[in-house]
Every structure is written in C-alpha cells, then in structure tokens.
Amino acid sequence: MVYLLIIVAILVVLFGVTSIRRSLITKPVFGIFKKILPPLSDTEREAMEAGDVWWDGELFKGKPDWQKLHAIPKAELSADEQAFMDNQVETLLTMLDDYKIVQEDRDLPKAVWDYIKREGFFAMIIPKAYGGREFSAIANSTIVSRIATRSLTAAVTIMVPNSLGPGELLMHYGTQEQKDRWLPTLANGTDVPCFALTGPEAGSDAGGIPDTGVVCKGQFEGKEVLGIRLNWDKRYITLAPVATVLGLAFKLYDPEKLLGDKEELGITCALIPTSHPGVQIGDRHFPMNMAFMNGTTYGKDVFIPLDWIIGGPSYAGRGWRMLVECLSAGRGISLPALATATGHLAARMTGAYGYVRQQFGMSIGKFEGVQEGLARIGGLTYTLEAMRVMTAGAIDLKLSPSVVTAIAKYHMTEMSRTLLNDAFDIHAGKAIQCGPMNYLAHGYMGVPISITVEGANILTRNLMIFGQGATRCHPYVLAELEAAANPNAEEGLAQFDKLLMAHIGFAVGNTFSALWQGLTAGAFNSAPVSGETARYYKQLSRMSRALALSADISMLMLGGDLKRKEMLSARLGDVLSQLYIASCVLKFFEDNGRQQADLPFVHYSVQRSLFEIGKAFDGFFANFPNRVVARTIRTLVFPFGIGYKMPSDAVAQQICEALSKPNTLRDRLTHLCYMGKDEDDATGLMENAFVAMYNAQPLLKKIAQAQKAGQLPRKQPLLDSINQALAASILTEQEADSLRKMNQLRFKAISVDSFKPGVLEGMSVGKRDAA
C-alpha cells in the first residue's frame, strides 16, 4: 500500500507540477516529436491545411456523436432545381443518342451543344446575379448522375465547367472585375472553359509542374505593362479542344523582384483567352473511346498582363491552396455522381435482364451464382446513393471536407468498377457486343477514366485519405505540429505542453475503452435508435475507438516513416473510409423514413463495411513492424478475434427479390436511371420486356402446369408451347396473343447488335478522317 501511494505521489508531482512536467516530460518529448515529424513540402502543408474537418473528425476521435450525424440536414432539391430536372434535363436526354455520339460522330451534335449552353447546363454553379443557375451541390450531382445513365460523354461535358475550373475559381477568388468580365459569358455559353493543370511530367505530383511564368515587363495592347512571360505544355485537359478561355496553373518566378522580396513565388493560376497570341490548342485525345472533348494545350513565351492572375497580383503564388480547396469540393460531386449513375443503371437493367433471360427453362436470376453478383450490384448501389447524397450535402453546408471527398472519390469509383464487372458477368454476351442495344459498354469503358482523374486512386488511397486524415481529423496532432513549428521556442513548448497532456489523456482513455469494448463486443455502447440498425451504431463506435488507438500508436512508433509505409497507413485509411461509408448508409436510411423494405440493403451495406474494417485491421496487425506492439493492439481491440462477416446468402437473396420484380423499392433505388420511351431504345425495351414478362406469369404458369400434367412437351421453344396450348384450349386466343407479344418483346430485349459487312469498316476513325 505504501509503495502504491509513493507511485501515485510521484505521478502527481510529475504530471501536476507544471515546471517539473515541462522539464522532465514535455521538453524531451517535444524534442523527439520534432525529430519524428514527417517532412512536409510546401504543397503538402497547404494541402494539409486546406479544406474542413467534418464528420470524419467525429469518426477519428474514437467516440462519434451519432446525434450530430442525424442532425445534418437532409440534402434535397429546391422547386427550381426539380423543375430543371423535370424539363431541361428530360428534354436533353431525348436529344442524346450515345451510340451515335461515341461510335460515329465522336462528338455531341451541334443541337446538343447549343441546348446545353442556352439552357444553363454550364452555369449550374454560377450565381444568378451573373446569369447562372446557382444550383446546390446536390442538384449538380443529381443532374450529372441522371445524364450519365444516358450518356457519359454528355455528363462529362456538363460536369467539368461546374467542377474545378475557371468558374469555381473566379467565384471564390476572382476580383470583381474578373467576375464581371467572365462569369456572364461562362453562364450563357459564349465562353467554354477548361483548366490546365496536368502535364507530361506532372500528374499526381501537381506541385512538381515544370510550367513556368516569369514576372517581367512587356507589351500589351500597345503599352508597356508589368506582366508574366509563360511557357507551358499540358495534356489530358477536358474541353481544351473547344475552349475559349484557358485556366492555367504554373510556377511563378520573380527574378528581378518586381513584386517584392521573393524570387520563387510558387504555383499561380491565371485566366487566358485561347485567342490570345501564343496560346496553342493542340491535338485531341481519345480517352477510352469516349467522345467528350479532351486534349492538349501549350505556349511558348506568351506574355500576359499581371491582372490576369485569378484574384489579381495579390494572389501570385497562392494557386496551390486555391486548387486544393476547390478540388476537394468538386471531387465530392462529379466523379461520385458518375459512379452512382453506373449503379442506378446496372441495378435496374441487370435485375430486369436476370428475369427476362432464360437458361435451362428458367430465368437466370434464379440461379444462386447470378444472385450473388446481383446482390452485390444492389447493395453497392444503395451505398453509392447514400454516399452521393451525404457528401454533396456537406458541400451545400458550405464545407470543403477534403478527407471525406477523397474517400468518396476513391471508394465510389472502385464500387462502380466492381458492380459493372458483375453486370457484365450476368449479361455475358449481351454486354460485350457494342452497339445501340448495349447500355453497359460505354459506362464500362469510362470507369478507368474515373479511376485515374482528380487524383489517381492509388494516390488517393495511399497518401490522401489517411495521410491527411491522420493529421487533419485527429483532435491534437495538427495543433501539435503547429506548436512544434512555432519559431518562438518557449511559446511553442508551452502550447505543446497543454496539448501533450490532453493527448495523453485521450490515448489512455482510448486504450482502456478499446479493451472494454473488445471484451464486451461493444454491447454497452449507446445507439441513437432502436431496432435492427442499433447494433451497427455500437459496432461503428467500437471500431472508431480502435482506429483512434491504432493511429496514435502508429504515429508514436513510426513517426515520419508512417508516411512512407503506404500499404500500412492505407489500411488505417480503409478503416476510416468504411466508417464514413457505413455512416452514410445509416443516415440515408433514417432520412428516408426507416423504411422496412430498405433493411436488406442496409444490412448488406453496413455488414460489408464492418467486414472490410476487420480485413483492414487484420492486414495492419499482420504487417506492423514491431510484432510485440502489433499483438498488443490486436489483443486490446479484438481479444476474441475479428468476428465480422460478409452479409449472409439470405440477405443477398432478399436484395435479388427486390430487384427482380416491379416495385416501389426498385423504383426508389434506381430513380436516376434513364429509360427511353422509344420502342427501340435499349433501356426502355429491357424494362418493357421485364414488366410484360412479370405480368405474364399467370399465363406462363398455365403452360407450366400443362407441361407437368403431360398435356404439352416440356423442352421446346416458348412460341411452340403457346401455339400448342391455344390448340388444346389451355389458352384463349387473347391470352395466346398476349404471350406471343411478350415473347417477341423478350427476344428483342435479349438480342445483341450485329452489323452488315462493311458497316464497321466505314466507321473507322482513320477512314472517316481521311474522307
């Protein structure tokens, strides 16, 4: 007892007396902390500091406040936005023939270009004061998703001016003169923008762009003015071939110090008319057979006045911060919208096809192998829609949550890739034959583009999600970094002392809580709801605590090496990501009235996320360099092993059941899917065949019963069975006619495209261009 009291007294003195604590604990730790800090470049630091911490911060602190999640306003369209969806968007969809656009014309028709400009499709983010639509992020996302289910080319063409580009940058940083000059013409389509960032030597490492600008004096409009002499070479620039105004990112230098004391000013953004002398729009690219405009631009010794810098001369060198902040918002709208569109289309059409297509005398959707893939499509589509709505909703709260949008970009595009692979497996031959009847092919071709752009997925997962998340979302690390960087050593030490004590308390609390939750499997965690989803909140809280503990220990043990151990840190990023994904699903379920019919999709989505969390932790523990520490953390977090499993077959079959019959749940899940009204439209045809075949079930059962009774042969074409059933008075003339029409529709729906000799050869790019 005496020894215990002595130990307690020592601890009280060590931690309770400020001068002793700072001398014996804080100062040595402060020195170690400075040494193990991961080295940050200027661009990394600006990226780290840009954007906002949102729900990701709650998940990272180990004890998420679920009431805060439920209190986030539901993202919904305004009356004006819904009217635009019902009118302009629907009109545009009827004007699009995606096969002709992609395979024949390699461009949108002139009438479509004129319509999207005239009706403000390029002006969705521009304020009404400048002639724009001033739509919300959720409207922007919903419009792009809807269009993408009809034509990826049209969706990309529309989304780019409403994402990272001149319009976005002007609204946030432009001078009043720049806004007055450019926003009205961008809004009415007189000007078409592009933004040039990527070059031959700089992709993911945008901070390493070789394109330069030098501050100097030169001639402009007959006068000598202070300006910039530019040299650039850019590629992969969407809309470049048709752009009239070029947003350009470059490194700015001031060797004569005409603007101040610095010679290297940093990344800068300028806005340049493409008609300006020296601006060159180069060759066009052809990304994955898609027809949206994409190409190159370059310039040599191009002189522009200084006030063409976005934001004016005072924004010289501030371009990287501008780009990171705008990109973090745009990344949460455009590519997630495209990914969600693939889910809506694939879920509706694959469910229908699985019902219409028959093998061995029954619909292929009844085979469990097909059901496994179809369930994955349905479950991921529900997840995608939940993430799309919540992430766009964050942007409408005037936030720029950089970590959350990186999670959305990476995981949603990967889900899109997964579910399209499943859709192809189920459609089989119908999916691989390109032609007007193939509604999957162009989306499949476009997936690698989404994987690659706006931060390649490898970069996004391995560096951005946890690399930024660990610092930005942690309650103390960013503040500790700032204290360590304080040029006033004493002041920095005092700041660090307070933070260190709070951090130690945080870590100790996480350690004991993680062990308690591991021993009790989170059973005593609170949940904001009752019913079947309550257990998910408890498990997510448990895994949030496990993440906080594992991240702290990783940063303590590995320091700067954690940044280089990408495979290890990415697994912690996966845990954070899946916590966010599951949160989106639960929030979506609540916002939509806790409909019982949605529960199989909720179970599938959240159980999948928990399984992925377990897999990520398993890989993290197995590869952590210090094996003793790894076993200790694993024992604390999972004392009885990782018990999370993928959804059961029963849940998968419930999802398949919902997708394999006409019902309101199927309509809600796939509400953005375009279905043409023309009898030859591929999506409309498949949907009509599906409904007709479903409605014909009572008559098909008559035939089946007759076959079972020996009145009709079993294995023969359906048309023969219909005619024989009519002859045997098993069916009436009206019933037989109804089944013949259904059978004709069914056969047409499952048919694939074929071309007469010479037709495809006449469509080849080289021959057409030569002509």
Q: Counting Cβ atoms within 10 Å, is residue 618 exposed (0-12), middle (13-18) or buried (19+)? A: middle
What distances in angstroms separate CA 704 from CA 252, 357, 661, 721, one per listed residue?
Answer: 77, 17, 20, 9
751: helix, coil or strand? coil
Q: Return d(Cα 427, Cα 346) in angstroms, integer.
A: 10
DSSP 254: -
Pair 308, 272: CB distance under 8 Å: yes
Among the listed residues 139, 36, 51, 93, the one whose alpha carbon sits nearest the alpha carbon of residue 398: 51
State the first-to-last Cα distance of the chain, in angstroms, to the nearest integer.
Answer: 98
698: helix, coil or strand? helix
Name the active-site residue from 134, 454, 612, 687. 454
Note the helical H segments in 96-233: 98-99, 110-118, 137-148, 152-159, 166-173, 176-187
Q: Return d(Cα 505, Cα 227) in angstroms, integer.
A: 55
Among the listed residues 198, 583, 644, 620, the one whose alpha carbon sits nearest the alpha carbon of residue 407: 583
Give residue 504's region: left, alpha or beta (phi > 0; psi -120 to 50): alpha
Q: Return d(Cα 624, Cα 750) in angstroms, integer.
A: 51
Pair 239, 195: CB distance under 8 Å: no
Q: Return d(Cα 28, Cα 36) in angstroms, integer.
A: 13
With a CB cutoff of 8 Å and minimum separation 6, the contacts of 244 are: 190, 191, 192, 193, 273, 274, 275
Q: Return d(Cα 326, Cα 528) in angstroms, integer.
A: 34
List beta partners, residue 521: none
* H or E element at residue 225: strand 223-238
Q: Which long-range contacts (CB under 8 A, 24 or more apart) does 126-134 make?
A: 126/167, 126/171, 126/183, 126/186, 126/187, 127/171, 127/183, 130/179, 130/180, 130/183, 130/184, 130/187, 131/183, 131/184, 131/187, 131/188, 132/183, 132/187, 133/84
Per-residue exposure over 689-706, b if at least 16 CB sit within 10 Å of its own CB, e if not: bbbbbeebeebbebbbeb
565: helix, coil or strand? coil
* H or E element at residue 216: strand 212-220
221 is annotated as an active-site residue: no
Report the interhelical angle of 42-49 vs 319-330 (nearest 10°): 50
Q: Return d(Cα 256, Cα 251) in angstroms, integer.
A: 16
Per-residue exposure over 383-398, b if at least 16 CB sit within 10 Å of its own CB, e if not: bbbbbbbbbbbbbbee
189: helix, coil or strand? coil
Among the listed residues 230, 244, 334, 315, the one whose alpha carbon sits nearest the alpha carbon of residue 278: 230
The CA angle 213-215-216, to the nearest 5 degrees, is 125
> Which residues are designated catalytic?
454
